[in-house]
Structure 1
Amino acid sequence: MKEFIHLIDNSKETPLERVISKNHIVSIAKVENGYTQIMLSSPINGERNKYHIITKEPYEKLINRMEE
């Protein structure tokens, strides 16, 4: 299993919503300085890969989005 770390800023060309919608959320956690960490799991070429995204998106907003 490979792990990739991405720093995503919603003002850049890859919006957080697009990344989340194409992958499976494994966990969401609050980290330091108001950041939120999202762990996604996505199969690529038959291999399950984990992606860690660090974002300024509020933890509560992401949890609410998951529950919808």
Structure 2
Amino acid sequence: MWPGRTRTRLLALEEQPARPDHRGCPQAATAIEHAGHPASEVVRRHKREMTDFFQRRAERGGARDPETSAQ
């Protein structure tokens, strides 16, 4: 893995919520709006998997707090 490239990608993701047209995570919105639906568990599991993925990338990229960065 290329640490510089990983860091650049993670920093770009951090900037995303600052954009005025950013509407948040559609998967999280679905899980909240349809909490009783079986699909909401699929969304929650996907969120956990993605958070784990980004935490590992943040660790490789040298983040000071990979767990928070992954959120």
| Normalised-by-shorter TM-score class | under 0.3
- Select the structure that is richer in helix: 2
TM-score, L = length of structure 2 = 0.27
TM-score, L = length of structure 1 = 0.27
- Select the structure that is richer in strand: 1
Select the structure of larger CA radius of gyration.
2
